[in-house]
Structure 1
């Protein structure tokens, strides 16, 4: 009997494939806690390093990829992602391989917003 794989876990499997093919050096995957064991077993079987952080609302952030990237994540992602400084947010986006132009726009928007709040 074949295992039925939930859609969220199919997305994870695609992320793993992209990581293994070198498309990404690091991945951030947010998913429902009920699939935690399944997801971590999958990464363990593939020999992929990972870091799990609770998000709330029974969801988890799963970072996985190169050990050097995860070491950096451990140093500065020590709070919810929504509370990252504009600089931390920019670094994280760049590490995840997001479009750098969009990251620059996002940084400027967040930085200007935080500057206005400080005034």
Structure 2
């Protein structure tokens, strides 16, 4: 008896993100996935005419940003290095663009900025790798 093709959980989550994007729930999505699903994910986005950016994360994972072109243009300017090296300001902008809870983003920003101020005398220019 043949088994039906079953999508892995990661791909089901991706499909849900695409659905929410298409319905206008989100303007932009950041989805982290295993490299083995890259081809499937990109094929799916391209078949839906959805713009995207791929950012490697280590040897086996990828960050896949997709959504409105104007959002992705900003991402290209803001996210120019690994996420853990973003300044508190860049991290705040990214979280806000992704639609994360604004109060939680404000708390996170203040915590990261205060940590950076203690470690780097206020110069949070991604030299404070422990500030994330």
TM-score by length of 2: 0.88
Query: For the residues of structure 1 that align with 2:68 and 2:87, how far apart are their CA atoms?
Result: 23
Larger helix proportion, structure 1 or 2? 1
Instruction: Give every structure 1 segment of 4 or more consecutive aligned residues whose post-TM-superposition deviation is greater than 2 Å.
Output: none
Counterpart secondary structure, 1:79: coil
Q: Give the structure 1 partner of residue 41 of structure 2.
A: 39
CA RMSD of aligned residues (A): 1.0
Q: Give the structure 1 partner of residue 83 of structure 2.
A: 81
Report which structure shows greater RCO (CA 8 Å, sep ≥6).
1
Counterpart secondary structure, 1:51: strand
Aligned length: 119
Q: Give how far 1:58 is off.
A: 0.4
Structure 1 unmatched ranges of 5 or more: none
TM-score by length of 1: 0.97
Q: Give how far 1:4 is off.
A: 1.9
Q: Give how far 1:3 is off.
A: 2.6
Q: Give the structure 2 partner of residue 65 of structure 1.
A: 67
Q: Give how far 1:35 is off.
A: 0.3
Query: For the residues of structure 2 that align with 1:57 and 1:108, how far apart are their CA atoms?
Result: 32
Matches within 5 A, 1:93-108: 93-108=95-110
Which entry has the higher C-alpha Rg, 1 or 2? 2
Instruction: Give CA-to-partner distance per residue, 1:11-62, whole Å, 9 cap, x none.
Output: 0000000000100000000000000000000000101000000000400000
